[in-house]
Amino acid sequence: MIRKEFKSFGHAARGIRFLIETQPHFRFHLLAAVAVNMAAWYFKLEALEWMILLLCIALVLGIEGVNSALEIALDRVHPEQHPMIGKAKDMAAAAVLISTLIAAIIGIWIFWDKLF
Protein backbone atom coordinates (compact mmCIF):
# COMPACT_ATOMS: atom_id res chain seq x y z
CA MET A 1 0.00 0.00 0.00
CA ILE A 2 2.68 2.52 0.98
CA ARG A 3 4.73 1.54 -2.06
CA LYS A 4 1.76 2.33 -4.31
CA GLU A 5 1.43 5.76 -2.69
CA PHE A 6 5.10 6.54 -3.27
CA LYS A 7 4.67 5.49 -6.90
CA SER A 8 1.81 8.01 -7.19
CA PHE A 9 4.11 10.76 -5.91
CA GLY A 10 6.58 9.77 -8.60
CA HIS A 11 3.91 10.18 -11.27
CA ALA A 12 3.01 13.60 -9.87
CA ALA A 13 6.67 14.66 -9.78
CA ARG A 14 7.04 13.56 -13.39
CA GLY A 15 3.98 15.65 -14.26
CA ILE A 16 5.43 18.73 -12.57
CA ARG A 17 8.72 18.22 -14.41
CA PHE A 18 6.83 17.90 -17.71
CA LEU A 19 4.92 21.12 -16.99
CA ILE A 20 8.12 23.02 -16.22
CA GLU A 21 10.00 21.64 -19.22
CA THR A 22 7.29 21.99 -21.86
CA GLN A 23 4.68 24.56 -20.84
CA PRO A 24 5.76 28.22 -21.13
CA HIS A 25 2.65 29.53 -19.37
CA PHE A 26 3.30 27.26 -16.40
CA ARG A 27 6.90 28.53 -16.23
CA PHE A 28 5.64 32.13 -16.33
CA HIS A 29 3.22 31.49 -13.47
CA LEU A 30 5.95 29.67 -11.53
CA LEU A 31 8.31 32.63 -11.97
CA ALA A 32 5.55 34.97 -10.79
CA ALA A 33 5.03 32.70 -7.76
CA VAL A 34 8.74 32.91 -6.90
CA ALA A 35 8.62 36.71 -7.20
CA VAL A 36 5.55 36.90 -4.95
CA ASN A 37 7.21 34.66 -2.37
CA MET A 38 10.33 36.81 -2.39
CA ALA A 39 8.21 39.95 -1.92
CA ALA A 40 6.24 38.28 0.87
CA TRP A 41 9.47 37.36 2.62
CA TYR A 42 10.93 40.86 2.11
CA PHE A 43 7.85 42.60 3.49
CA LYS A 44 7.55 40.09 6.38
CA LEU A 45 3.91 39.28 5.75
CA GLU A 46 1.68 37.97 8.50
CA ALA A 47 0.88 34.25 8.57
CA LEU A 48 -2.66 34.76 7.24
CA GLU A 49 -1.37 36.85 4.32
CA TRP A 50 1.15 34.11 3.51
CA MET A 51 -1.56 31.47 3.59
CA ILE A 52 -3.80 33.48 1.28
CA LEU A 53 -0.96 34.06 -1.20
CA LEU A 54 0.06 30.41 -1.14
CA LEU A 55 -3.53 29.35 -1.79
CA CYS A 56 -3.71 31.76 -4.74
CA ILE A 57 -0.42 30.40 -6.12
CA ALA A 58 -1.61 26.82 -5.73
CA LEU A 59 -4.90 27.66 -7.44
CA VAL A 60 -3.25 29.32 -10.45
CA LEU A 61 -0.55 26.64 -10.87
CA GLY A 62 -3.07 23.85 -10.38
CA ILE A 63 -5.54 25.21 -12.91
CA GLU A 64 -2.71 25.87 -15.37
CA GLY A 65 -1.69 22.23 -14.97
CA VAL A 66 -5.25 21.01 -15.58
CA ASN A 67 -5.54 23.33 -18.60
CA SER A 68 -2.32 21.93 -20.07
CA ALA A 69 -3.42 18.35 -19.43
CA LEU A 70 -6.79 18.99 -21.06
CA GLU A 71 -5.19 20.56 -24.13
CA ILE A 72 -2.79 17.64 -24.57
CA ALA A 73 -5.55 15.05 -24.11
CA LEU A 74 -7.92 16.80 -26.50
CA ASP A 75 -5.20 17.18 -29.12
CA ARG A 76 -4.54 13.43 -28.86
CA VAL A 77 -8.21 12.46 -29.07
CA HIS A 78 -9.08 14.89 -31.86
CA PRO A 79 -5.93 16.29 -33.55
CA GLU A 80 -7.75 18.24 -36.25
CA GLN A 81 -9.59 21.49 -35.57
CA HIS A 82 -13.10 21.07 -34.20
CA PRO A 83 -15.39 23.84 -32.91
CA MET A 84 -16.41 22.00 -29.73
CA ILE A 85 -12.80 21.05 -28.90
CA GLY A 86 -11.86 24.68 -29.43
CA LYS A 87 -14.60 25.80 -27.07
CA ALA A 88 -13.45 23.34 -24.39
CA LYS A 89 -9.88 24.62 -24.70
CA ASP A 90 -11.08 28.23 -24.57
CA MET A 91 -13.08 27.54 -21.41
CA ALA A 92 -10.09 25.88 -19.75
CA ALA A 93 -7.92 28.87 -20.70
CA ALA A 94 -10.64 31.16 -19.29
CA ALA A 95 -10.42 29.30 -15.96
CA VAL A 96 -6.68 30.04 -15.86
CA LEU A 97 -7.31 33.69 -16.69
CA ILE A 98 -10.02 34.07 -14.05
CA SER A 99 -7.87 32.49 -11.32
CA THR A 100 -4.88 34.60 -12.37
CA LEU A 101 -6.86 37.85 -12.32
CA ILE A 102 -8.36 37.09 -8.90
CA ALA A 103 -4.91 36.10 -7.56
CA ALA A 104 -3.46 39.36 -8.91
CA ILE A 105 -6.24 41.40 -7.27
CA ILE A 106 -5.63 39.62 -3.94
CA GLY A 107 -1.88 40.15 -4.30
CA ILE A 108 -2.33 43.87 -4.97
CA TRP A 109 -4.68 44.09 -1.99
CA ILE A 110 -2.14 42.41 0.30
CA PHE A 111 0.91 44.36 -0.93
CA TRP A 112 -0.72 47.77 -1.49
CA ASP A 113 -0.01 49.22 1.98
CA LYS A 114 3.52 47.83 1.96
CA LEU A 115 4.34 49.38 -1.41
CA PHE A 116 2.64 52.75 -0.96
**Active-site residue numbers?**
64
Quickly count: other Cβ atoms within 10 Å of residue 81's Cβ: 7
Exposed e or buried b for every residue in 16-48, given b needs 16+ CB within 10 A?
eeebeeebeebeebbebbeebeebbeeeebeee
